[in-house]
Amino acid sequence: MFQNYKSLIGYFLPFNSVIHNLNPQVKLICTVSLISSLLINYNLTLILVYFLVLLLVYRIAKIPLSVLYNSFKPIIWIIIFSSIIHLFTTPGEPLLSMGFLNLTVQGIQKSFILSSRMILIIGFTMLISLTTSPVNLVEAISSLLKPFSWLGLPVNQFSLMLSLSLRFLPVIYEEADRIKKSQLARGADFSSWKLKSRVNNVVSIIIPMIYSAIIRADDLAIAMEIRGFKIGEKRTRLNETRFNFIDLVIIILSLIIFMVTFLL
């Protein structure tokens, strides 16, 4: 149960650090501004600076770099493949030429920048999910969406939906896993090439899942109704998130960085 929770909902590592204790809204804004600055503008110095920032922040958050390394494992080939393509297909002064393939200075530069950019974006996105509990993350997303309620959008319902899905995701994942295993134990072969048996095997997971989802939904509706919930009704909140001084400093800093990269 524990392991599924961890591997499914991002990879939250509940340590105690400055980064962990930052306001999640701040973290969200920072991450978004860092990523968008990387997408808008990419020169070599900026990327090197960002690499330093990434390493520093991981160090502050006490997250071992092996975590980063392990999560790159599945996509390392995509990165290598795309850099090779850029290496040889970018037009420019050829350093080395093999038939129609030319290795160019521009190619080296471009493939380095592009792969670093990919690594950085993943690194920073990982960071926010590593240091923020899923609950707080959803809370932050909802609160940043709040302005849209002025436009008449049902932001409250949307947030509740988001947090309920987050609540039930691990439960349902666990259940799917158990049902899949029990059908495997009855000889179901999900890698079969025969269309008919494949369809039948998938049905053997989907029907029990739907059936239990209906029961769950029914139970949940009762549990919420018993506790006085009514759609659209006003609610008070136990914890309203507030900004403190450090939060403010960081948000201003990241906005400045964003502006500077934009102007560079």
Partner 1 sequence: MLKINDVYFNYHNDTPREIQVLRGVSLSLGEGEFISLVGNNGSGKSTLAKVVSGLLKPSRGTVTWSSEENCCLKPGHRTRVGLILQNPDNQIVSGTVEEDVAFGLENLQTPPVELKRKVEDTLRNLQLWDKKDHPTQLLSGGEKQKLAIASVIVMEPECLILDEATALLDYRSKEQVLETIKFLQKAKRVAIIQITSSIDEIIPSERVILLNKGRIIYDGHISSFLKDSEIMGLIGFDLPAYAAISHELIGMGIINEICYTREELTDKVLWEYQHRI
Partner 2 sequence: MGISAQNLTHIYNYGFPWEIKALDNISFSVEDGEGFAILGGAGSGKSTLAQHVNGLLFPTTGEIIVNGTKVKPGVNLQELRRAVGMVFQFPETQLFGETVFEDVAFGLRNLGFSEKIVEAQVMEALHLVGFIPSAVRLRNPLLLSGGEKRKVALAGVMAMKNSILVLDEPISGLDARSKKELLTVLKEYRKTNKAIIVYITHSIEEALSICERGIILSKGKLLYQGDLQEYFIQNENWKYLNIEPPVNRGIALTLKEKGLKINDRIITRLELIKEIEKCFKTIKA
Q: Which spans of this chain sit near partner 1 (rule: CB under 8 A)? A: 1-2, 5, 133-135, 138, 163-164, 166-167, 170-171, 215-216, 219-220, 222-230, 233-240
Shorter beta-carbon distance to partner 2: residue 14 or 91:
14
Shorter beta-carbon distance to partner 1: residue 73 or 237:
237
Task: Look at residues 112, 126, 13 and name the one whose alpha carbon lies nearest to residue 68.
Answer: 126
Span near partner 2 by CB under 8 A; candidates 83-91, 143-151, 163-171, 182-190: 182-190
Q: Which two structure tokens, joined as six digits, stand for 27?
A: 């973290």
State the nearest-atom distance from the C-beta of 159 to partner 2, in Å.
28
Q: Which does 134 bind (CB under 5 to 8 A by kind): partner 2, partner 1, none?
A: partner 1
| 85 CA to centre of own chain | 27
Task: Tell me the three state secondary structure of residue 103.
Answer: strand
Q: Which does 240 bind (CB under 5 to 8 A by kind): partner 1, partner 2, none?
A: partner 1
Shorter beta-carbon distance to partner 1: residue 41 or 156:
156
Is 34:50 a contact under the CB 8 Å cutoff? yes
Q: Which does 122 bind (CB under 5 to 8 A by kind): partner 1, partner 2, none?
A: none
Q: What gap in Å lies between CA 43 and CA 251, rounded to an integer?
A: 23
Is 31:124 a contact under the CB 8 Å cutoff? yes
Should residue 175 be labelled a site residue for partner 2 when binding is judged by CB under 8 A?
yes
Should residue 60 be labelled a site residue for partner 2 when binding is judged by CB under 8 A?
no
Is 71:11 a contact under the CB 8 Å cutoff? yes
Is 188:179 a contact under the CB 8 Å cutoff? no
Type of residue numbered 34: L
Mutual angle of helices 105-131 and 44-60, in 10-degree steps: 20
Which parts of this chain interact with partner 2 (CB under 8 A)?
2-3, 6-7, 11, 13, 64, 66-67, 70, 175, 178-179, 181-189, 197, 201, 203-208, 211-212
